[in-house]
Amino acid sequence: MPNYVNILEQPQHMEAKVLGPAPRRPLVGTIRVKPSTVLWKPAGQRQFYAVALDEFAEWITSPETRAVRVKS
């Protein structure tokens, strides 16, 4: 295989817009997942709220959040 001059770089984060209920589907906010953090920005705001990934994992698996396991 030849040595390539250019390379493809993977994105450093995944970002998704969270939309509200149909039929209008208003923007609720944006969630961004990075290798070490999870960020949330409500609709109409400029800055993200951030939490470390390990803190998020601890919080979401805590019984107080009442989060349930789902099949994906």
What are phi and psi for residue 51, nearest 5 degrees? -145, 145
What are phi and psi for residue 52, nearest 5 degrees? -65, 145
Rounded to two decimals, the pTM is 0.77
Q: How high is the pLDDT of residue 42?
A: 98
Q: How high is the pLDDT of residue 1?
A: 62
Does 44 fall in a domain? yes
Does 53 fall in a domain? yes
Question: How confident is the chain (72 residues) per 10-residue block, as mean pLDDT?
Answer: 82 95 97 95 98 95 94 86
The domain containing residue 18 runs over which residues? Answer: 14-65
| Tally of domains in the chain | 1
Paired strand residues for 45: none
Does 71 fall in a domain? no
Does 3 fall in a domain? no
Q: How high is the pLDDT of residue 43?
A: 98
